[in-house]
Chains A and B, each alone.
Chain A
Amino acid sequence: SQKIEQNSEALNIQEGKTATLTCNYTNYSPAYLQWYRQDPGRGPVFLLLIRENEKEKRKERLKVTFDTTLKQSLFHITASQPADSATYLCAPSNNQAGTALIFGKGTTLSVSS
């Protein structure tokens, strides 16, 4: 069955450092991969989408890579801030319109000042 693993449940870093979160998937050949942010008691909020033919995608301080050979995506937050503290979810997806998102358990990032 499809399986998604995010590197660790919790990641603690200091303000200003780069946070790197890992998403590995198995039994999957996703056409694209999405990253979402979830704050406590709130719904997931879309951050970035990267397609299988894209190696890297950037948006402000965020960067996502997608390696279909390794079956892995890396999510980087540069110059991290306490406001970046949240749980980050990855969701590999196929190309069929309307496909459900299957999320990993997420990595909870804590940025201390």
Chain B
Amino acid sequence: EPEVTQTPSHQVTQMGQEVILRCVPISNHLYFYWYRQILGQKVEFLVSFYNNEISEKSEIFDDQFSVERPDGSNFTLKIRSTKLEDSAMYFCASREDRSNQPQHFGDGTRLSIL
């Protein structure tokens, strides 16, 4: 069964550095998402992406964050000038362009800011 893959599985970065998290969504999916989960808390929506542009974003997704689909297969989340509170699991998800379809999640990147 096709799956969403994320790399790296664990990223350790110094505070203030930039980090790029990578995702390969399922090939025929057209909607892409990033979520984050701080340890012990709920999964929170960050941003959705469709047709090469952001379709929705949450209050968390401020100017520090950006997303890109640099080619036909990758979907990236960039965090500029990382802060300690950015430490979390970041999940990528994708879904088909049909109504009432579930989202398929990757297994996440654990981001640790030191």
Contact = CB atoms under 8 A, between A and B. Distances in A.
A100 interface: yes
Contacts, number: 63
Contact of B42 (A42, A45, A99, A104): A104
Interface string B21-41: 000000000010101000001
Contacts of B89: 41
Given A43-B107, A43-B108, A103 B43 contact: yes
A100 to B, nearest CB: 4
Interface stretch (B11-19, B64-72, B76-84, B98-106): B98-106
Contact of A98 (B31, B35, B41, B107): B31
In this complex, the interface size class of chain A, counting residues with CB under 8 Å from chain B, is 20 to 34
B103 A46 contact: yes
A100 B45 contact: yes
A100 B48 contact: yes
A46 B102 contact: yes
B100 A51 contact: yes
Contacts of A32: 100
Contact of A42 (B48, B95, B102, B107): B107
A103 to B, nearest CB: 5
B32 to A, nearest CB: 9
11 contacts: A34-B102, A38-B43, A42-B107, A43-B4, A43-B93, A49-B100, A98-B31, A98-B48, A98-B55, A99-B48, A100-B48
Q: Give the top 7 A-B pairs by smallest Cβ distance, nearest first.
A: A43-B105, A46-B102, A100-B45, A98-B31, A105-B42, A103-B43, A43-B91
Interface of B: 4, 31, 33, 35, 41-45, 48, 50, 55-56, 58, 89, 91, 93, 95, 97-100, 102-108, 110
